[in-house]
């Protein structure tokens, strides 16, 4: 192998930007104070760094710094938002609305609340592109509805929900709106006020920051959102999340947000043109390649394709020393089940098994894309030659009419 | 998930990929699995009607690397065996040879099923063609 492997799985995680690392390094070494130590300069230095990070994050999403609650990542943020609201507002109602294509951190949290009889949850369907219908949200609202939780952008297919319309609806009906914006923040413009978001989950490692550091935006006015803490202890983060702050992580997260903000527009344009190059290259070389997700309403760096007659895992196996891609989401690839997100879109299981997620990011180049197009085309051609399904389809057999022996 | 060396080796250099020509005689074809399960194996055995020895084998597989490796290995395993011997092959032999992890054992089961299906198909055809009836393997 002549070249370094290409990383094109940027919805799983992103490499840490060198400028972020540079900002973090002092806080892994000489600046080691506890941000909660109020009585000496060591603590003040850490606190100052945390304040700065908080502001950088708040700036990117149009929030006030004090509305940013630091967590270990988006999974914790989702847990805190959903359980925290369900528990705090229990006397107001117990009904939550979400959708079937949400991240497992939301779905599993909702199911845990249901099992504990702490909530009733409506899981809305999505259309063929993975979007919820605002009318469906409206119809699902009951007197007891306390929370709507919908993601900004889907982690597998990149599809964007009509967030602003949902935010407006939630506001109109006096219901809190939580948005898991892990895949959206830093990639597309997100503004908690304009979007009508009351709680928002974010993660540093999806935007070229470090792993193990995330945040939950919690609206402080109009309305002031309250939460029942899920992590008890010293009362850090306005009592919503105890635990000594990860100062270096927060510094990196803040820097990552600052960079995303500065580069967002240019980077979105660049990624969209790379994605178009990738899509055009692959569909020119190969027949029967299908797009999963919305053609335009998606984050710039995501392309999810089904390559008929070629099973996804064998596809990745043919490339995994040269190119990092994902089949379904990294969180579910330990199972053999095809993606629940694609199923929810109505993609047949046979096509769901052939889906591949290309996650373009800041460090991908046109040269990377051209290499991926060439190698993916080669692997697909080779595996189709080996595929009995491809052979049958070429012979004119309708695969849906076959009685399979399982 | 990391793959065992043997699986990678079969995946990268699969043995006996292909199909026999439709008009070729003495061929039994087994197709097992389903596209919605993510695995379909087609195994073809060319069998000498006098000796019942498997003289050649070919496969095509839609499935993960372990499914491809299992079917590739099976084509090597059955060649030169009689139909009865091939029918007695157990999936555990494939698991051992390829060092398949527990989540991939179904690939070996599918490969065993493919042998049985191909043999059964060959028998059906042979009987259809008026050949003397043999006891099922």
Q: CB of A198 within 8 A of CB of A225?
A: yes
- Pick the closest to residue B20 from B53, B42, B44, B49 (CA basis): B44
Cα A45 from Cα A38, distance rounded (Å): 10
Cα A400 from Cα A306, distance rounded (Å): 17
A288 φ/ψ sector (left φ>0, alpha ψ -120 to 50, else beta): left
pLDDT tier for residue A304 given thresholds of 50, 70 and 90: very high
Cα A388 from Cα B59, distance rounded (Å): 8
B105 to chain A, any CB pair closer than 8 A? The answer is: no
Cα A364 from Cα A306, distance rounded (Å): 22
Query: Looking at residues A328-357, what average pLDDT do you find?
Result: 78
Sequence-distant (6+) residues with CB within 8 A of A372 are A6, A8, A278, A323, A358
Would you state the pLDDT for residue A29? 96
pLDDT tier for residue A336 given thresholds of 50, 70 and 90: low
Kindly tell me the burial class for residue B39, based on how many C-beta atoms sit within 10 Å of its own C-beta (0-12, 13-18, 19 or more). buried
Model confidence at A1: pLDDT above 70: no
DSSP label of A219:
-
Q: CB of A149 within 8 A of CB of A108?
A: no
Contacts with A348 from chain B: Cβ below 8 Å = 36
Model confidence at A61: pLDDT above 90: yes
Count CB atoms within 10 A of the CB of residue A254.
Answer: 29
Give me the phi and psi of A179, to 5 degrees please: -125, 120
Prediction pTM value: 0.93
For chain A, give the number of residues: 406
A172 to chain B, any CB pair closer than 8 A? The answer is: no
Paired tokens of B103: 């989540």
pLDDT tier for residue B116 given thresholds of 50, 70 and 90: very high
Contacts with A332 from chain B: Cβ below 8 Å = none
Please give the residue of chain B at the shortest CA–CA distance from A388.
B60
Sequence-distant (6+) residues with CB within 8 A of B48 are B26, B54, B55
Catalytic position from the list A110, A257, A260, A331 = A331
Q: Which of residues 101-160 of A touch B (CB under 8 A)?
A: none
Cα A277 from Cα A273, distance rounded (Å): 6
pLDDT tier for residue A328 given thresholds of 50, 70 and 90: low
Report the DSSP beta bridge partners of residue A323. A6
Paired tokens of A64: 């006030």
- The minimum CA-CA distance between A348 and chain B, rounded to whole Å, is 8
Cα A363 from Cα B53, distance rounded (Å): 57
Radius of gyration of chain A (CA): 22
Count CB atoms within 10 A of the CB of residue A397.
Answer: 12
Give me the phi and psi of A358, to 5 degrees please: -100, 120
Strand locations in A77-138, DSSP E?
Answer: 95-99, 120-124
Structural domains of chain B in order of their starting residue, each with its CATH number:
5-20+27-124 (3.90.1010.10)
Give me the phi and psi of A146, to 5 degrees please: -115, -20
Model confidence at B134: pLDDT above 60: no
- Please write the tens of the pLDDT for every residue from A182-239: 999 999 999 999 999 999 999 999 999 999 999 999 999 999 999 999 999 999 999 9
**Of A146-150, A329-333, B92-96, which gets the smallest average pLDDT?**
A329-333
Sequence-distant (6+) residues with CB within 8 A of A57 are A63, A65, A68, A202, A215, A253, A254, A257
Cα A279 from Cα A261, distance rounded (Å): 27
Cα A14 from Cα A133, distance rounded (Å): 31
Q: Tell me whether residues A313 and B103 touch, CB distance under 8 A.
A: no
Cα A35 from Cα A244, distance rounded (Å): 8
Name the average pLDDT for chain B: 90
Share of chain A above pLDDT 70, in %: 97
Would you state the pLDDT for residue B137? 40
- Pick the closest to residue A132 from A169, A103, A161, A171 (CA basis): A161
Model confidence at B135: pLDDT above 70: no
Would you state the pLDDT for residue B130? 56
DSSP label of A225:
P
Q: A333 by DSSP, 3-state: which?
A: coil
Placement of tokens 């085309």 in the chain:
A377
Distances (CA, A) of B132 to A1, A261, B32, B47, B126: 56, 79, 27, 15, 8
Cα A299 from Cα A312, distance rounded (Å): 22
Contacts with B62 from chain A: Cβ below 8 Å = 309-311, 387-390
Cα B58 from Cα B17, distance rounded (Å): 6
Paired tokens of A12: 């799983």
Model confidence at A27: pLDDT above 60: yes
For chain B, give the number of residues: 137
- N- to C-terminal Cα separation, chain A: 40
- The minimum CA-CA distance between B62 and chain A, rounded to whole Å, is 5
Count CB atoms within 10 A of the CB of residue A58.
Answer: 20
Would you state the pLDDT for residue B36? 86
Model confidence at A330: pLDDT above 50: no
Would you state the pLDDT for residue B69? 96
């Amino acid at each position: 192998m002549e070249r370094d492997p290409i990383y094109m799985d940027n919805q799983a995680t992103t490499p840490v930007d060198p400028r972020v690392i540079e900002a973090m390094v002092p806080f892994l070494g000489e600046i080691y104070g506890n941000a909660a130590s109020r009585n000496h300069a060591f603590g003040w230095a850490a606190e100052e760094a945390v304040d700065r990070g908080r502001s950088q994050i708040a700036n990117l999403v149009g929030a006030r710094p004090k509305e940013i609650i630091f967590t270990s990542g988006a999974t914790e943020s989702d847990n805190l938002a959903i359980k925290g609201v369900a528990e705090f507002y229990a006397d107001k109602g117990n009904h939550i609305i979400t959708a079937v294509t949400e991240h497992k951190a939301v779905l599993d949290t909702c199911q845990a609340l249901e099992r504990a009889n702490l909530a009733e949850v409506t899981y809305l369907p999505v259309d063929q592109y993975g979007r919820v219908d605002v009318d469906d949200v409206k119809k699902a609202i009951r007197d007891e509805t306390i929370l709507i939780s919908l993601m900004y952008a889907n982690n597998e297919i990149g599809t964007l929900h009509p967030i602003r319309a949902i935010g407006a609806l939630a506001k109109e009906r006096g219901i809190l709106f939580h948005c898991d914006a892990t895949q959206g923040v830093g990639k597309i413009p997100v503004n908690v006020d304009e979007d009508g978001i009351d709680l928002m989950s974010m993660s540093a490692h999806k935007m070229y920051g470090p792993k193990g550091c995330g945040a939950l935006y919690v609206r402080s006015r109009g309305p002031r959102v309250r939460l029942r803490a899920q992590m008890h202890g010293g009362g850090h983060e306005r009592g919503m999340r105890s635990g000594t702050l990860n100062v270096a992580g927060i510094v990196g997260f803040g820097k990552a947000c600052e960079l995303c903000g500065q580069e967002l527009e240019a980077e979105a344009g660049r990624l969209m043109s790379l994605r178009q190059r990738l899509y055009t290259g692959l569909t020119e070389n190969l027949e029967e390649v299908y797009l999963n997700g919305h053609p335009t309403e998606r984050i710039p760096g995501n392309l999810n394709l089904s390559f008929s007659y070629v099973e996804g895992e064998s596809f990745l196996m043919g490339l995994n020393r040269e190119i990092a891609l994902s089949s379904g989401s990294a969180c579910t690839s330990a199972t053999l089940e095809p993606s629940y997100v694609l199923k929810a879109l109505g993609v047949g299981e046979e096509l769901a098994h052939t889906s591949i997620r290309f996650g373009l990011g800041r460090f991908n180049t046109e040269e990377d894309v051209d290499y991926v197009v060439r190698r993916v085309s080669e692997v697909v051609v080779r595996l189709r030659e080996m595929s009995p399904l491809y052979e049958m389809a070429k012979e004119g057999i309708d695969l849906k009419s076959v009685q399979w022996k399982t | 998930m990391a793959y065992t060396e043997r699986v990678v080796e079969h995946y990268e250099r699969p043995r006996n990929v292909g199909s026999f020509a439709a008009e070729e005689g003495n061929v039994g074809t087994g197709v097992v699995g389903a596209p919605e399960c993510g695995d379909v194996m087609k195994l073809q055995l060319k069998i000498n009607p006098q000796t019942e020895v498997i003289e050649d084998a070919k496969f095509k597989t839609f499935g993960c690397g372990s499914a491809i490796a299992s079917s590739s290995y099976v084509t090597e395993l059955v060649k030169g065996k009689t139909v009865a011997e091939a029918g007695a092959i157990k999936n555990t032999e494939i698991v051992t040879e390829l060092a398949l992890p527990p989540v991939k054992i179904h690939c070996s089961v599918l490969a065993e099923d493919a042998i049985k299906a191909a043999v059964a198909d060959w028998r059906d055809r042979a009987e259809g063609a008026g050949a003397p009836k043999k006891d099922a393997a």
